[in-house]
Structure 1
Amino acid sequence: MSLGPYTSFIVTSYTLVAAVVLLLIFWIALDYRHQKERLRELEASGVTRRSGRQTADI
C-alpha cells in the first residue's frame, strides 16, 4: 500500500492520535479507581448518598 509523498505525515498523525486515545483511556481508568476509593472512604466515615435514600427518608 503506497500512501504517496505524505506517508510520514499520515503515519505520525495516526501514531499521535493512538497515543492520545490510550493516554485518555489510562487517565479515565486511573480517575475511576481514585473516585471509587474516595467514595468508599466517605461511606466509611458515615456520609451517605442521596440516591441511596428511600422516599420516606426525604
Structure 2
Amino acid sequence: MIPDLGKYADTVLWSYVVSIGLLLALVLVSVMRGRKSQAELEKVEQRIKRNG
C-alpha cells in the first residue's frame, strides 16, 4: 500500500518518522506541563483552605 517513491523513498519516509516523533514529543511535553500545573494548583488550593 506504500506508493512508489523511487529514489526519494528514504527521504520521504524519514520525514514522516521525524514529523511523527516531533508531534509525539509535543504531546508528551504538553501532558507533563499540564500535570505539573495541576499539582501546583492543588498546592495553592490546599494552602488557601488552611489559611482561610
Cα displacement string for residues 24-43 of structure 1 (whole angstroms, at most 9, x for unaligned residues)? 00110111010000000011
Residues 18-33 of structure 1 mapped to structure 2, 5 A cutoff: 18-33=20-35
* Residues matched between the structures, number: 47
Structure 2 letter corresponding to 1:18: I
Partner of residue 9, structure 1: 11
Q: How many Å apart are 1:4 and its aligned residue?
A: 1.1
> Which of the pair is proportionally richer in helix?
2
Q: TM-score, normalised by structure 1?
A: 0.75
Partner of residue 40, structure 2: 38
For structure 2, the 5+ residue unaligned runs are: none
For structure 1, the 5+ residue unaligned runs are: 48-58
Query: Which runs of structure 1 show a deviation greater than 3 angstroms over 4 or more consecutive aligned residues?
Result: none
